[in-house]
Amino acid sequence: MYLISYGTRPELIKLFPLINIFKENNIDHKTIFTGQHEDLIKEFENLTHRPDFVLEKTMKHKQSINSLIYKIINESQKIINSYDCKVIIQGDAASSFAVALSAFNEGKEVIHVEAGLRTHNLRSPFPEEGFRKMISHISNIHFCPTIKSVENLKNEGIIENVHLVGNTIVDSCAQIIEKGESSDYLNELISSNDDYYLCTLHRRENINNFQSMWEQLNQISENKTIIYIKHPSVPNSEDFLGKNIIKLDPMTYQDMVFAINNSKGLISDSGGLQEEAICLNKNILICRDTSERPETIDSGFGKLIGSDILNNIQFLENGNTKDIVENPYGKNVVKKILEVLSD
């Protein structure tokens, strides 16, 4: 039996195709929602079935990362101990690390989806780079998205049970695009603003850069529509963003894919958006100094810019000048994962 754990929006987005294919093939599994992004509840009905277990009150205002990890380890341990199971986690969030460590401490096998991503800088992104390195060394099966991620694990001495399958975001985007649905509100908004950049900013390492970046966005918005998706970890963004910028609360994943797909390009410090940019053929200005997804940059869709948005905005207007033969993140990824687990 498999226990599939997620606690944040990116984890659910990456795992819902896997959860759904488990259900379609009658594979015994349960899901755990560790509760960081409490607003995810509304996403379940759109993407997959509701979780079998929900960890209560793991999030507290201004709590430390250590406090969050402690709560998740303690609460998830009770569930993990109730089953003869293997535990599936995704990515590098605090929830992924906490559940992986809880499973490891209880002698359960850990299966890591999206294994091997590295910036080779423990402080960027922080704390995710540390989390994913530690997860790799306590996992039993590693599902890697790219050749470079396989090489990263090999360089750390991890060579057994490493499988190159691709990135599940490919399946996530494909399934949402196939549905072709979005909210009436977003349809109306985009129909009246059909030439826009989509922007999200939330990384801890950008805390000292936010005000400068917001000022640059204000300048750009004098000539170009910007749709800015607010993030709960940056509650004061509205205080600095000008009236020409359309500010929206976090939206469902279906709406997000629709908004990306209809945009002129992306401005973001998000990791997941670097992958979705390729899947949806959009250029992205990556507001970071390093990236664990070099494939997006190598493919011509992404450009690392630090916090200098204004002087790099033309990159979005130019579009991708490279001839991309195939998506570096693969295709039919969850089917490949299922094949490995079936063996």
Domains in the chain with CATH codes = 2-164 (3.40.50.2000), 182-318 (3.40.50.2000)
Q: Would you state the structure tokens that stand for residue 138, as one six-digit string?
A: 């306590």
Q: Would you state the structure tokens that stand for residue 63, as one six-digit string?
A: 């709590």
Instruction: Please give the model's pTM, rounded to 2 decimal places.
Output: 0.89
- In this structure, are residues 75 and 46 in contact, taking their beta carbons and an 8 Å threshold? no
274 torsion bin: left (phi>0), alpha (psi -120 to 50), beta (else): alpha
202 is known as an active-site residue: yes
d(CA 65, CA 287) in angstroms, rounded, equals 23
The DSSP string of 39-66 is: GGHHHHHHHSPPPSEE-TT---TT--HH
CB-based burial of residue 205 (10 Å sphere; 0-12 exposed, 13-18 middle, 19+ buried)? middle
**pLDDT for 47:** 87
In the chain, count of helices (H) and strands (E)?
A: 14, 13
**pLDDT for 243:** 85
**pLDDT for 331:** 93
**pLDDT for 143:** 98
Tens of pLDDT along the chain (343 residues) come to: 999 999 988 899 999 999 999 999 999 999 999 987 666 666 776 788 889 999 987 877 778 999 999 999 999 999 999 999 999 999 999 999 999 999 999 999 999 999 999 999 999 899 999 999 999 999 999 999 999 999 999 999 999 999 999 999 999 999 998 888 788 889 999 888 889 999 999 988 888 899 999 999 999 999 999 999 998 778 788 889 988 899 999 888 999 999 999 999 999 999 999 999 999 999 999 999 999 999 999 999 999 999 999 999 999 988 766 666 688 999 999 999 999 999 8
**pLDDT for 146:** 96
**pLDDT for 239:** 84
- In this structure, are residues 65 and 94 in contact, taking their beta carbons and an 8 Å threshold? yes
**pLDDT for 1:** 97
d(CA 211, CA 260) in angstroms, rounded, equals 24
**pLDDT for 41:** 65
**pLDDT for 86:** 98
**pLDDT for 42:** 67
Which of 29, 163, 202, 231 is an active site residue?
202
Which amino acid, residue 151?
E
Residue 212 backbone phi and psi in degrees, to 5: -65, -45
d(CA 87, CA 292) in angstroms, rounded, equals 24
